[in-house]
Homo-oligomer: A and B are copies of this chain.
Amino acid sequence: MTNTRDDVVNAAGRLFAERGYHGTSMRDLGRELGLYGSSLYSHVDSKEGLLVEVVERGAQLFDQAATTALESSDDPVEQLRQLIAGHVGVVLGHRSVARTFLNEARALDAAHRTRVIDARDRYEAAFRGVIREGVEAGVFSAPAGVGVAAIFVLSILNALERWYAPSGPLGQEALVEAIHAFAVRGLRAKH
């Protein structure tokens, strides 16, 4: 019945993801945990600190997923599959954190927002690198540029939190396969 600090951070992630940072009050958050808004301050320093913590956790999860994916293989097609699988894993395993990371960074002060933007750019760079290797190996083609191709794939991945229903007809593995097939075809060099 007693709440831990982690309970507070997790509940904050849920509410920030659902209603947005500015749409969530500390009293809302307290209610979610069965206590008063003012009581939250024995667990955390400030509302903005909670947002920073959730967002940094999101950056961490995506960063780890990308690193693991790149280490899994030397083949660009397979690395892309692992990048996609990793992203899907983060979204399905930590949806609120992912949503807050993707959508609420604008509520951060300039310094923390810069950190998030840098983290996203490093993550994107993993996709760019794999696509570039594929192009150099002659298996991919990116007529509009590697950067644009990476954004297209990431657009599909970042949109998942908006529509994917875990209880729906499309399972996690089928989802990964569908995205990978679509991306690899979209990137496929003529042959």
Contact = CB atoms under 8 A, between A and B. Distances in A.
Interface of A: 18-23, 103, 106-107, 143-145, 148-149, 151-152, 154-156, 158-159, 163, 170, 174-175, 177-179, 181-183, 185-188
B159 A155 contact: yes
Contact of A107 (B23, B103, B158, B178): B23
A182 B179 CA distance: 13
A18 B146 CA distance: 28
Contacts of A187: 182, 185
Contact of A148 (B20, B155, B170): B170
A144 B156 contact: no
A20 B19 contact: no
Contact of A182 (B103, B152, B170, B178): B152
Copies in the complex: 2
B178 A163 contact: no
Given A23-B107, A106-B20, A156 B148 contact: no
Contacts of A106: 18-20, 23
A179 B151 contact: no
13 contacts: A20-B20, A20-B106, A22-B22, A22-B23, A144-B181, A145-B170, A152-B156, A152-B179, A155-B156, A155-B159, A158-B159, A185-B186, A185-B188
Given A22-B22, A103-B103, A186-B182, A144 B159 contact: no
A143 B181 contact: yes
A45 B83 CA distance: 49
A107 B23 CA distance: 8
B107 A144 contact: no
Given A22-B22, A144-B175, A154-B159, 5 more contacts: A20-B23, A143-B181, A149-B182, A158-B159, A182-B187
